[in-house]
Amino acid sequence: MSLWTPGGEHPVDRSRPTEPASAPPAAGGPEGDPFADMSPEERAQAEQMMAEMGEVRRQLAEAPAAAVVANHAMGLYELAAIHLTGQPPKLTEAKLAIDAFAALVEVLKGKLGPDESTLVDGLQQLRLGYVQMAGAAGGGPAAGDAPGS
């Protein structure tokens, strides 16, 4: 797994459990130092990770919001495509991802910058693919069953 930033993709190590971003820092020692219970090596690693996350946050703050939103929208596109192309296709899951993708593309119409036409085309492709897969799976989607309904 990786995190996209304007400076490129950065690998994310998901092998170690992490606390949610909103969790308060651990109390640590009597002075409230969250690193107090760590070895010097662990402390250095934690400080390095914090510095790297600070750099990622800085890069995200410098990126146009439209580019970041478009990137997230493409994640929904990929999710829908994965469910549509599975064996067997998971139409209910695909529909949810398509509807979420459509919500971003349609509600933010005119605000998504140079990537907007690509997103609109992708939405059309997903909707067509859904109808085709639903038809192949047994007679087509029922009224109100197609994405966007």
For residue range 5-25, list pLDDT tens digits in order. 666 676 666 565 555 555 555
Token digits for 18?
């992490």
> What pLDDT, on a 0 to 100 scale, did the predictor assign at position 24?
52
- Token pair 């509807």: residue: 99
Average pLDDT along the chain: 84
Sign for the CA dihedral angle at 68, 77, 103, 122 comes to positive
In which residue are the tokens 């140079």 written?
114
Question: Looking at the domain assignment, is residue 131 inside a domain?
Answer: yes
What is the model's pLDDT at position 32? 74
Domain check: are 85 and 123 in the same one? Answer: yes
Same domain for 52 and 109 = no
| Within a domain: 21 | no
Q: What are phi and psi of 139, to 5 degrees?
A: 95, 5
Q: pLDDT band at residue 143, thresholds of 50, 70 and 90?
A: very low
Identify the burial level of 119 via C-beta atoms within 10 angstroms of its C-beta, where 0-12 means exposed, 13-18 middle and 19 or more buried.
buried
If asked whether residues 48 and 103 sit together in one domain, one would say no
pTM above 0.75, yes or no: no
Same structural domain, 118 and 91: yes
pLDDT for the residue 17: 54
3 in any annotated domain: no
Boundary (domain end) residue, out of 62, 84, 100? 62
Question: In which residue are the tokens 């109808």 written?
Answer: 131
- Pair (120, 87) in one structural domain: yes
User: Does pLDDT of 119 surpass 50?
Assistant: yes
Please check whether residues 54 and 114 belong to one and the same domain: no
- Answer yes or no: do 118 and 57 share one domain: no
pLDDT at residue number 33 = 81
Helix H or strand E encompassing 139: none
Residues 55 and 80 in one domain: no
Question: Which H or E element spans position 10?
Answer: strand 8-11
Residue 1 confidence (pLDDT) above 60:
no
- Report the candidate in 148, 31, 38 with the shortest Cα–Cα distance to residue 100: 148
Same domain, 37 and 82: no
Range of the domain at 42: 32-62
Contact assessment for residue 86 and residue 133, using Cβ atoms and an 8 Å cutoff: no
Task: Please count the structural domains in the chain.
Answer: 2
Asked if the structure places residue 102 within a domain, the reply is: yes
Mean pLDDT to the nearest integer, 106-134: 96
CA distance 57 to 118: 26
Clarify whether residues 58 and 69 are in a common domain.
no
pLDDT in tens, 37-77: 899 999 999 999 999 999 999 999 999 999 999 999 999 99
Distance CA 77, CA 6 (A): 20
**Cβ pair 112, 98 in contact under 8 A:** no
Q: What is the DSSP letter of 24?
A: P
Q: Do 113 and 71 share a domain, yes or no? A: yes
